[in-house]
Amino acid sequence: MDALLSPPLVAPDDTEPAVDERPALCVHRLGMAHPGDLSALAALLDAGTLRAADIVAVIGKTEGNGGVNDFTRGYFTQTLMALLAERTGRPAATLLRELPCILSGGTEGVLSPHYVVFARSGRLEASSGDATGPGALAIGTAVSAPLAAQHVGRWAHVESVADAVRAAMRDAGIARTEDVAFVQVKCPCVTAARAQAAAAAGHTVLTADSNRSMATARAAGAFGVAIALGELPDDAALEAAMLTDFTRFSSRASVSSGVEVEANEVIVLGHSPRWQGELRMGCAPMGDALDLGAVARALRPLGLAAEPQLSEADAARVAAVFVKCEPDRRGSVRGARHTMLDDTDINAQRHIRGAVGGMVAGVLGDGRIFVSGGAEHQGPDGGGLVAVIARGTP
């Protein structure tokens, strides 16, 4: 009779489970009592909920006029850099050159002043480049070299933004342009002082009109994003199409311009299997200022449905919302005349932010929405785009 065989001895497994060290993105949407109020962020830092060293970008809405002389943006930026310098031990001037702080002024109607803080933890390993799967939301940032006034709104500006978008994609570990969900850019503009300094140095600016310069900067930024994402060819001859041919646009670009920056600040958000976490993002172009369906199209891939407004549970999943819009330059919306461009009492951009902001807020049940006017080449002419970050998977 065969001897009974004893099972082999197995040493107890006392090894620790593998730790997923892929980077993860954390998003905090915080309110403010005034443009210099960062008490909500300070409270998160004090509680240890958030590490100052992990903060990589901020996007916010301040209650200024959104124009050239809107100093609420600079006030917020200065306060933010002072707080982060105190908490990280790094000079505020260094942080200012490295950390995008992209602000839009104007909280008309039901829009609420707030800011969105993006924090990144973990490590992006080069060896994980072959990772597969749907991927989590990833972030990458880049700040270009300072842009000379004579280049603002010209092809050199377009190239500067395109290079910064590519750098931000590398920073995020996003290799495919189709995996980019949304790109936020802040560009410098030409002020009277900058125009005079350029002239004294023998240079000619595209326009010395500050308001016009903001529009040319936004157009150049949108073209830069479109080229980097393959939505437009990299052809310098396209410079003539800026602010003239509005059939050319990026469906994923949101571009602002202001006096408080001298370089192009870029934030790229997209999906990558090299990242972990529950955040996802949807983005949809708006055909016009009444395109309620675009909000639904941005929500749909996130498993969110408004009937007609998001439920309280679904609204709680929304982490941040970004909108670009503009008053239709042709003077009508769906065949009906609008008067936004002819109102000398209220700037047209303030009209459109209030109108579209109210529409989107009504769907989401929340006024904490980043709504920025001036959507030149950012979505269809007279429209814009809607982008939503949400927690959880469909």
Helix (H, G, I), strand (E, B) or coil at 25: strand
How does the average pLDDT of the chain come out, rounded? 93
Cα torsion 176, 182, 183, 189 to 10°: value is 150
Q: Which amino acid is at 287?
A: G
pLDDT at 377: 98
- CA 214 to chain CA mean position, Å: 17
Distance from C-alpha of 225 to C-alpha of 181, rounded to nearest angstrom: 12
Span 364-374, average pLDDT: 97
Residue 192 has pLDDT above 70, yes or no: yes
pLDDT at 14: 54
Residue 1 has pLDDT above 50, yes or no: no
Span 328-335, average pLDDT: 96
pLDDT at 126: 72
At 212-230, the pLDDT tens digits run 999 999 999 999 999 999 9
H helices of the chain, where? 39-47, 72-88, 92-98, 155-172, 192-200, 210-228, 292-299, 312-317, 348-364
Catalytic residue among 104, 186, 250, 257: 186
pLDDT at 9: 45
3-state secondary structure 152-220: CCCHHHHHHHHHHHHHHHHHHCCCCHHHEEEEEEEEECCCHHHHHHHHHCCCCCCCCCHHHHHHHHHHH
At 43-64, the pLDDT tens digits run 999 999 999 999 999 999 999 9
Q: Worst-scoring range by mean pLDDT, 18-32, 146-160, 169-183, 370-384?
A: 18-32
At 250-293, the pLDDT tens digits run 999 999 999 989 999 999 999 999 999 999 999 999 999 999 99
Distance from C-alpha of 41 to C-alpha of 84, rounded to nearest angstrom: 10
Span 174-179, average pLDDT: 96
pTM: 0.93
At 101-145, the pLDDT tens digits run 999 999 999 999 999 999 999 988 875 555 666 689 999 999 999
Confidence band (pLDDT; 50, 70, 90) for 68?
A: confident
Span 362-389, average pLDDT: 97
Span 376-380, average pLDDT: 97
Tell me if residue 256 is catalytic: yes
Catalytic residue among 144, 160, 210, 256: 256
Confidence band (pLDDT; 50, 70, 90) for 18?
A: low
* Structure token digits, residue 227: 């080229």
pLDDT at 3: 40
Helix then strand count (H, E) for the chain reads 9, 14
Cβ atoms of 283 and 321 within 8 Å: the answer is no
pLDDT at 392: 87
- Percentage of residues of the chain with pLDDT beyond 90: 89
Distance from C-alpha of 391 to C-alpha of 317, rounded to nearest angstrom: 5
- CA 208 to chain CA mean position, Å: 27
Tell me if residue 186 is catalytic: yes
Helix (H, G, I), strand (E, B) or coil at 88: helix
Cβ atoms of 252 and 226 within 8 Å: the answer is no
Residue 326 has pLDDT above 90, yes or no: yes
